[in-house]
A and B are shown apart, each in its own frame.
Chain A
């Protein structure tokens, strides 16, 4: 017994020490990639631009007071025909091992998405065990993807974090955008009843000033990434954009709205009454009858009155009822406009195809091939919105009612 134990321990120990260093990576030897941007060069090759974190400059003056001076990130680019090549070539410029597990943002340029599509690039990210497929994907709108990751940002020092947080926060309180993960895109690409839709980011100001530290030393950074619309995809290629209220209409339909505001005109004033949406639930369904698709969107929304610009008697339930009808119309309009655009582009980003698949599996097998063109694009759309105004904030009637 004793000998067994001894032999066992010697084996384990020697193995451990032999094995010691295969998969080991010290933090000091890692170049933490925070964002990856992909552009297309003139020859049609990919340009990968990687944003690396300079940890010492992120956390501020901790050790010896040297922190906080330099840039929070450094950005390097490399060209290649595939992702692996870019990654290997990057090593000629970076002194450490590239570490992708914290790359939470993938920026794809509009040009690339239009010309080559996203199909040829996503497999690498989907397959690689270190790259998380929960990373956020965005499309750079009217800007180079590289410029977006090169731009320094204030408040959140790591630009990638800023962009992700911006997307998430905006999704939560405004609703005109979505935080789309690589996993979602891949799932939509393989799903024959739904096409991907990805948020867009554009760059305010010039790309050159964005790179310098001066940019974030001002109270109003001259260059900053900002949210811009939703990119529609069809068969892996970008076909168009949804902006503003249309983008929000699409997010409504996708049941991704968490909070937002809706306004209606009243008594000749524009956007006079504002509803703060606090909760909503959207259900979509679809059927095909005699070769025509019937799409149905059902929205249930709850909210509070957030603002009034005109005197109005909010104590009266009938008035509230009328306001509810108004809000319903407004939401319906947004959704309608979003669906119309998608129909025009012949891309079912809402998953109506999946709804048919669920309700009529047999029919779906027949029509799935040309769902987008023959059915979705010509479908009848019915939208039903129910708005419930629950509360009116701290005041009942606005002081405007009493202004003499």
Chain B
């Protein structure tokens, strides 16, 4: 753990950028057709529940990284190995997001550029930033949050002025009942993007004002959930369900429909910025968590020494994890949620919380008796 402190607002900015990172760009929860926004909001509620599990765990051990309290809860050997698994999970997710990001970039703008080059440049920037430490990362987040919301605000205004929104596309609501909605929520949105908040368990101990964590987390999850739902509403109402579903990046198609005053058009750069900045923060958070956690497990000081090797691992993993983008997406939809997200984001933390609760109760009894 480095000696650093971040403010509540910085944590909020990081949560928001992280949540919006890649979720903003894809057709989140589109399996529920025009009710995708409901799915996102439900996922948000699920995300809040998951966050509470993380938060309770944090309350038991407010000054420890998860890698440390895992060892306290489960014993040294077992704790260390589970913690290490978590770090692998972080690295894997970082690689996934990096791959997503690189593939998106190449699909629509840099067709002839090799994926390796695009990813390498990105990972270099990320590694540089991560090695500067959490404080710098958090401050950068603060600045970019304003920037992104400024872009988003102007984007929404432009979309409104273009007069292409047709809210009829959102009807009928609940056409097929609640079943597909619940199904999509449980299978997708609850893990991605909300469950991925588990990364922030590695960052919570840095907060200057520990009392604020709960509010920051709730607020961050709600704002990001609403933002995502709003974007999805705009996407669907402009593109229609079908086109949104078939688009690799609905947001790009939406932005391309902006035409104001015959001059404010072709604003793809909005999408490029959202893509790169979002991708940057998401991967950076995963890598940071992996760096700080691994350093903690193996007592490496300073932790920043690990950022280059871990960056390299992420890079190589992102290149080799799938041979094509559809394969990559398929893995992301059908394998990763059940095999990785479910245990790592929900089952383990809930079990841990149970054990921690039991242990601490015993502890208390001993203390009083």
Chain A contact residues, CB within 8 Å of chain B: 4, 8, 11-12, 15-16, 18-19, 22-23, 129, 132-134, 183, 186-187, 190-191, 354, 357-359, 361
CB within 8 Å for A19 and B113 given contacts A133-B253, A183-B243, A191-B240: yes
CB within 8 Å for A129 and B243 given contacts A15-B117, A15-B120, A134-B257: no
Name the contact of B239 in the complex, choosing from A15, A23, A187, A361 (C-beta under 8 A): A187
CB within 8 Å for A187 and B114 given contacts A12-B121, A132-B256, A357-B172: no
Name the contact of B175 in the complex, choosing from A4, A16, A186, A361 (C-beta under 8 A): A361
Q: At the interface, yes or no: B107 with Cβ under 8 Å from chain A?
A: yes
Q: How many residues of B contact A (CB 8 A)?
A: 29
Q: How far is the CA of A377 from the CA of B341 in the complex (A)?
A: 51
A23 in contact with B175 (CB, 8 Å): no
Name the contact of A22 in the complex, choosing from B114, B124, B131, B266 (C-beta under 8 A): B114
Q: How far is the CA of A191 from the CA of B240 in the complex (A)?
A: 9
B111 in contact with A129 (CB, 8 Å): yes
A11 in contact with B168 (CB, 8 Å): no
B239 in contact with A22 (CB, 8 Å): no
Tell me what chain B mostly uses at the interface: helix, strand, loop, or mixed. Answer: helix
Residues on the A chain within 8 Å of B240, using CB: 187, 190-191
Q: List 12 A-B contacts (CB under 8 A).
A: A15-B117, A22-B112, A22-B113, A22-B117, A129-B107, A129-B111, A132-B266, A134-B256, A183-B257, A187-B242, A190-B240, A190-B243
Q: How far is the CA of A129 from the CA of B110 in the complex (A)?
A: 10
- Give the residue name and chain of the A residue nearest to B304 (CB): A4
B171 in contact with A19 (CB, 8 Å): no
A15 in contact with B121 (CB, 8 Å): yes
Residues on the A chain within 8 Å of B131, using CB: 4
Residues on the B chain within 8 Å of A187, using CB: 239-240, 242-243
Chain B contact residues, CB within 8 Å of chain A: 107-114, 117, 120-121, 124, 128, 131, 168, 171-172, 175, 239-240, 242-243, 253, 256-257, 259, 265-266, 308
A129 in contact with B171 (CB, 8 Å): no
A19 in contact with B256 (CB, 8 Å): no
Q: How far is the CA of A190 from the CA of B120 in the complex (A)?
A: 39
Residues on the B chain within 8 Å of A132, using CB: 256, 266
Name the contact of A11 in the complex, choosing from B112, B124, B242 (C-beta under 8 A): B124
A12 in contact with B111 (CB, 8 Å): no
Residues on the A chain within 8 Å of B265, using CB: 134
- Give the residue name and chain of the A residue nearest to B170 (CB): A358
